[in-house]
Structure 1
Amino acid sequence: MDTARKTLLIVWHSRTGAARQLAEAAAEGARDVLHELDALDQLRIVTRTAGQAVAADVLQADAYLFCAPENLGSVSGAMKEFFDRCYYDVLDHVNGRPYALAIAAGSDGQGALNQVQRICTGWRLRAVAEPYIAHTDAQTPQAILAAKTLSAEQRDAARTLGGTLAALLV
């Protein structure tokens, strides 16, 4: 691992594509800021699905963006399982590190947002941006289960989160 560079870890889970698009846009936003600042060699952007991410990824990162859908008023099970799997291995080892959140939700998102914020509070992470909730307005079973395409404005909000984290690290 290149210890001279800092690392931004983006962990995401998505079934319908909305949270994946948030994660991808955030990574693009981080790369754009690095390019603007002529700092491409100063930050690694690591993107992991919730199923791939392990405690070592969290420990090696300097900042985090968590992107997940809200399912039935809670963060998705796969994202919760990531936190469950890593929680105690990183507790007291990531205190004060910056983080941001992006939630994909049909109409609310507050349940997932609150749940992830409580976990990040337990890890003693430091929120550095307002959390973003991308509303998809999916309300029927068919719409909820359908593949999602986020608007340019929704992707731009995620790009801003990624850019903010990148700018803080370089």
Structure 2
Amino acid sequence: MLERKRLLIVYHTQSGNTGRLAEAVLRGALTVDETETVIKRAFDAGSDDLLACDGLLLGTPENFGYMSGALKDFFDRTYYPCEGRLTALPYGLFVSAGNDGSGAVREVGRIANGYGWKPAAAPLVIRNEITADDLTRCEELGAAMATGIALGIF
């Protein structure tokens, strides 16, 4: 029997909006039995979690046109211990934005490039109030990422 692939979801939420998106991403990922999914808040995730995953989904609010400080802290704590060890790791990003989310997307992308990760999906930016359609899109992102790593597509 093949070992199940692991999807790691790392997110930060303060107002609760990104948390709602993360829960929807998790719901979608859990529909794929061939993938083990682990979800952690950014302050609780570390290098061991990152090194044990086969795919990564990152969630952040847009704060002052940037990612959350907690997600940046996750990157700061894991970069050097993981340097050179996660090349081509597939990742995706979901952002809860009050503006356009482009600053958060740009900066997460720059850091992901430094790790050597490869984007497996276009960034999902949810602007302003979260709708049922937004939650469905998050579920689809989670399911697609879990399916992709289970099948070795990414």
TM-score by shorter chain over 0.5: yes
What is residue 141 of structure 1 aligned with on the other side? none
- 1:2-151 alignment to 2 at 5 Å? 4-32=3-31, 34=32, 40=33, 42-136=34-128, 150-151=130-131
Query: Would you say the 8 A contact 2:35–2:147 is kept in 1?
Result: no
What is residue 145 of structure 1 aligned with on the other side? none
Deviations 1:20-44 (A, max 9, x none): 1111111111122x1xxxxx2x311
Tell me the TM-score normalised to structure 1 length: 0.84
User: What is the identity percentage for the equivalent residue pairs of Structure 1 and Structure 2?
Assistant: 36
Matched, 1:158 2:138: yes
Deviations 1:47-105 (A, max 9, x none): 00001000000000000000000111111111111111111111111111111000111
Structure 1 gap ranges (5+):
35-39, 138-149
Tell me the TM-score normalised to structure 2 length: 0.93
- Any idea what SS the aligned residue of 1:78 has? helix
Larger Rg: 1
Runs of 4+ more than 3 Å apart: none
Q: Distance in 2 between matches of 1:4 and 1:167?
A: 14
Q: CA RMSD in A?
A: 1.2
